[in-house]
Structure 1
């Protein structure tokens, strides 16, 4: 795969600047001072890699003089002075060559404390320059700095502070986007930027976790631009990131993805200390790779499988072609606001499986649930990945109807339920003559199911069709291991959902035990008796 590394920063290639905007930006920034600078008179220093970035953002223009770059995606590990660069750009738009009278400059972050960091950095720079300090009016109660002469202001806001409707920003810094709890503020700021000619968005973040978030979407789109898969000159990808398969202990990798290391930041000895701790502690290793090497992590800190391996089973699932094949269903019914999931599994050769899920969630407060879990339930419902049933709990009658439809359409051999919440549904389907069976969630039943599922995924014999909700469930899995080495699923955090993964393990286990001729048990009661025996 083509590298996303920003080689243009180092190759000395010419950066177009037909109107001198890049040069003007660099000259203004060089005239600033920083209280922590060790240069004479505390002069703000742009290292070569930083200067190239500034010239590349502001130099290239259309024939009418408007800037080509409208969105900058800066993926930079911790300790590379990302905040200082963002603060300097904010000052450039509020007071410098990119200022526009009465314009709004905004830095947005996940919470109030994070939002203040860039603002405080900017204020410390302004206080070092008497000419700027004289025309600056700090408004602490608004987290705002005002250019008294031009009416422009720079304000820090937090994603937790509300939607901020009515904004018309000229320049927005989306700080540490990977940590934003929801996308409401992002959507409002993006829509506000298009109201202003010549606006600029700078996403400045380290790597995050999981794929069901706005940061991953933005970075992944920037990767496509960097690789040449998408032609969009308005997006400037600046992605300093290591590959998942690279040796995280290799200092050459550290230097490539930390551009400041060549200039003394972050501390190489500090990175070495973190790496020594990471070698002993898997949790520290994950944090080191994420925050210091920008390796995007799986959602779970103790993942069930490598999600890159899981993703290799993303080939489309043709349900029509499977209608004549034996099928096993696993059902995980929810309590209260959780997801309910039915997963169908088909045998794929001697040792593989094809699966497809059907999800259900309550329709009431769907957006609130999305904010709680940090995933786009409304979008998933709109696109048919989830069925939203009326009310504030899942309507099991809709689930039962779906199972009946599946039994009509496919050659269903068994319908496996955890009896804890499914007693009524199970009995209803049994009374109708459908092959419903109990599959309790103890170690004796689920550990072999988990093992078989893991074997299929790792062996790349597991096709799931890239269903986004199922992927999210698998990405949430953390694993408990007993003294005998048996593994069980559990949720990494209370808000995480793994319902589809549990139903998938159940369906795969029943498919592994069954055959093309029907259930391995003569009746559901046979299976129930065996499960009671195994579970004591």
Structure 2
């Protein structure tokens, strides 16, 4: 290519093209640098064009692009790297470029960040007209635009473990494999740094994360709520999601195609078929196949409660005021001084179902640090009334403050019993006595004997969709983290030591349901005797 004269007019510079058409023309002039199509020019597929049209569409009244956050989720090996590199170059020195722009390809580690930079470098080195306008700084892994549109702009790969992200002013940012980010720090840093630009764009492209609380999962859930009418329309946000339905046959090629738009094209059908055959013989490989190939949000670990079963117990919002005076049972899981304390009330409905009203407590000291350590957004949940998380002043849980909340609930609801673990109960009992609160406290052991019955009760009620937990975020986290261990007799208990995170809320729920069902069973002989009389 180096012997050919440079073109004076490039495809995206032709008159009469719309904004989207210029972007497409730019991308389709870029060379493919690796794989079986190396040496040819990029040819966008219809699904890629649809995504670009949705993201870069302009408001006819203002002429500006409304979308500021774009999310694309699809399975592995569907051409993500080439697309992201092409869009980064489009904003660096193509039709979307602006003077002194800052373009970042953000990744979870240095090696992944270098891969994104290396792809952009390879494309430029195979495109003479673009190459002559840039300075490739290999030592710093940067690309600088020297002349033409985008003069003074710079492209840089940035990893989550970079020393600093302060002072940045991104005009365009690609978040690569955000679904596998350890935390939301890099996303938050880039998202909040874009305010100085007139039309900034943050684009997150990744396979789905494996849990609901990961930052990429929260972005997808937001987009799905908008799409399904459960949230207000947001012109600044766009989601394109390719995922296989959880209830679809995972071994059928039609299911594979729903998460792999490039299947049978540049995504090898034979390779997916091979991985499916292996996954059918191994539960662990099946979970990995579902996540990476079917782009389903499925943990590689076997859950105590299946996600679909737990979700089926979301029957709608609960108004605590409508429960005032109702009979209920409680479970209390007191924490160490700095950990999560759970207080869960269950209200029988008379038809074998229960309303579940949880409340959680954490010290407010270093709540951001606790969020990082547990990899969940406690700081966000503390501002969300539906999460029912109360931050207590200080560095440690003050039993007096917990007792005050329990006393308030005791005044509102007809609490028939409180199941508790012996851990720190004496401190709480003393505080309740100081408040003149009398509650029927019922000791509930945490060993296999008592927790075995509680686990069985919880599992049955969840399986039969007889709970309404209103999709409480913290209770859902606890359910997703839960792991059971068994003794020689087959009795099970929720094991905090082996859980993948906090399970305090689920333990409290299991205890509350257990004593509620136990008291119902104890009432039967009396009822039967009365009937016989």
Range of TM-score over shorter length: 0.7 to 0.9
In structure 2, stretches of 5+ residues that fail to align are 1-14, 526-533
| 1:453-468 pair list within 5 angstroms | 453-468=458-473
Q: Secondary structure at the match of 1:407?
A: helix
Corresponding residue to 2:243 among 241, 244, 258 = 241
Q: Secondary structure at the match of 1:283?
A: helix
Deviations 1:378-416 (A, max 9, x none): 222233522222332211222223333333332222222
Q: Secondary structure at the match of 2:239?
A: strand
User: Given the alignment of the two structures, is residue 313 of structure 1 paired with residue 313 of structure 2, yes or no?
Assistant: yes
Cα drift, residue 515 of structure 1: 4.0
Cα distance in 2 for partners of 1:355, 1:346 equals: 7
Aligned residues: 502
User: Given the alignment of the two structures, is residue 168 of structure 1 paired with residue 173 of structure 2, yes or no?
Assistant: no
- Structure 2 residue aligned with 1:220: 221
Deviations 1:413-446 (A, max 9, x none): 2222211443443576589653222211011100
Cα distance in 2 for partners of 1:379, 1:204 equals: 23
Relative to 1, partners in 2 of residues 1:60 and 1:387: Cα closer, same or farther, differing over 3 Å? closer
Contact 1:93/1:105, CA 8 A, preserved across alignment: yes
- Structure 2 residue aligned with 1:25: 23
- Structure 2 residue aligned with 1:437: 442
Contact 1:336/1:393, CA 8 A, preserved across alignment: yes
Contact 1:61/1:68, CA 8 A, preserved across alignment: yes
- Greater shift in the superposed pair: 429-438 or 392-401: 429-438
Corresponding residue to 2:396 among 393, 396, 404 = 393
Cα distance in 1 for partners of 2:128, 2:17 equals: 29
Deviations 1:273-323 (A, max 9, x none): 2212222222221221111111122x5722222233323333233333333
Deviations 1:325-368 (A, max 9, x none): 33222111112432011111222225222221121112211111
- Structure 2 residue aligned with 1:532: none
Deviations 1:218-261 (A, max 9, x none): 21232244456654454443211111111111111112321111
Contact 1:164/1:188, CA 8 A, preserved across alignment: yes
- Structure 2 residue aligned with 1:35: 33
Cα distance in 2 for partners of 1:393, 1:366 equals: 11
Cα distance in 2 for partners of 1:292, 1:192 equals: 33
Relative to 1, partners in 2 of residues 1:30 and 1:406: Cα closer, same or farther, differing over 3 Å? closer
| 1:395-474 pair list within 5 angstroms | 395-426=398-429, 433-474=438-479
Cα distance in 1 for partners of 2:17, 2:64 equals: 9
- Greater shift in the superposed pair: 240-249 or 280-289: 280-289
Cα distance in 2 for partners of 1:517, 1:448 equals: 15
- Structure 1 residue aligned with 2:64: 66
Cα distance in 2 for partners of 1:94, 1:424 equals: 62
Cα drift, residue 518 of structure 1: 9.0
Cα distance in 2 for partners of 1:34, 1:26 equals: 15
* TM-score, with structure 2 as normaliser: 0.85
Contact 2:108/2:181, CA 8 A, preserved across alignment: yes
Relative to 1, partners in 2 of residues 1:377 and 1:38: Cα closer, same or farther, differing over 3 Å? closer
Q: Secondary structure at the match of 1:358?
A: strand
- Structure 1 residue aligned with 2:302: 302
- Structure 2 residue aligned with 1:76: 74
Cα distance in 1 for partners of 2:451, 2:300 equals: 20
Cα distance in 1 for partners of 2:237, 2:287 equals: 29
Contact 1:178/1:208, CA 8 A, preserved across alignment: yes
- Structure 2 residue aligned with 1:523: none
Corresponding residue to 2:146 among 122, 145, 148 = 148
User: Given the alignment of the two structures, is residue 131 of structure 1 paired with residue 129 of structure 2, yes or no?
Assistant: yes
Q: Secondary structure at the match of 2:404?
A: helix
- Structure 2 residue aligned with 1:4: none
Corresponding residue to 2:482 among 470, 477, 480 = 477
- Structure 2 residue aligned with 1:322: 323
Contact 1:300/1:477, CA 8 A, preserved across alignment: no
Cα distance in 2 for partners of 1:322, 1:43 equals: 65
- Structure 2 residue aligned with 1:514: 519
User: Given the alignment of the two structures, is residue 197 of structure 1 paired with residue 195 of structure 2, yes or no?
Assistant: no
- Structure 1 residue aligned with 2:119: 121
Contact 2:78/2:266, CA 8 A, preserved across alignment: no
Q: Secondary structure at the match of 1:327?
A: strand
Relative to 1, partners in 2 of residues 1:518 and 1:325: Cα closer, same or farther, differing over 3 Å? farther
Relative to 1, partners in 2 of residues 1:430 and 1:285: Cα closer, same or farther, differing over 3 Å? farther
Cα distance in 2 for partners of 1:226, 1:390 equals: 39
| 1:476-515 pair list within 5 angstroms | 476-482=481-487, 484-491=489-496, 496-515=501-520
Cα distance in 2 for partners of 1:72, 1:18 equals: 27
